[in-house]
Amino acid sequence: MEGDNGVMSHPAHTIVHLFEWRWEDIALECKNFLAPMGFWGVQVSPPQEHPVSSDNSWKQRYQPVSYDLESRSGTKDQFVDMVRQCNDVGRKVSG
Residue 70 forms part of a structural domain: yes
Closest CA to 79 of 25, 34, 41, 36: 25
Residue 79 forms part of a structural domain: yes
Helix residue ranges, H only, 41-92: 76-88
pLDDT, one tens digit per residue, over 38-57 is 999 999 999 988 888 777 77
77/12 Cα distance (integer angstroms): 28
Please calculate the CA angle 35-38-40 and round it to the nearest 5 degrees: 85
Residue 75 forms part of a structural domain: yes
The structure's pTM equals: 0.82
Residue 54 forms part of a structural domain: yes
Number of domains in the chain: 1
Residue 14 forms part of a structural domain: no
Percent with pLDDT over 90 in the chain = 61
Segment 52-68 shows an average pLDDT of: 82
Helix (H) or strand (E) holding 18: strand 15-18
What per-residue confidence (pLDDT) applies to 57?
77
Residue 18 forms part of a structural domain: no
What per-residue confidence (pLDDT) applies to 13?
83
Residue 85 forms part of a structural domain: yes
Range of the domain at 53: 30-94
Residue 11 forms part of a structural domain: no
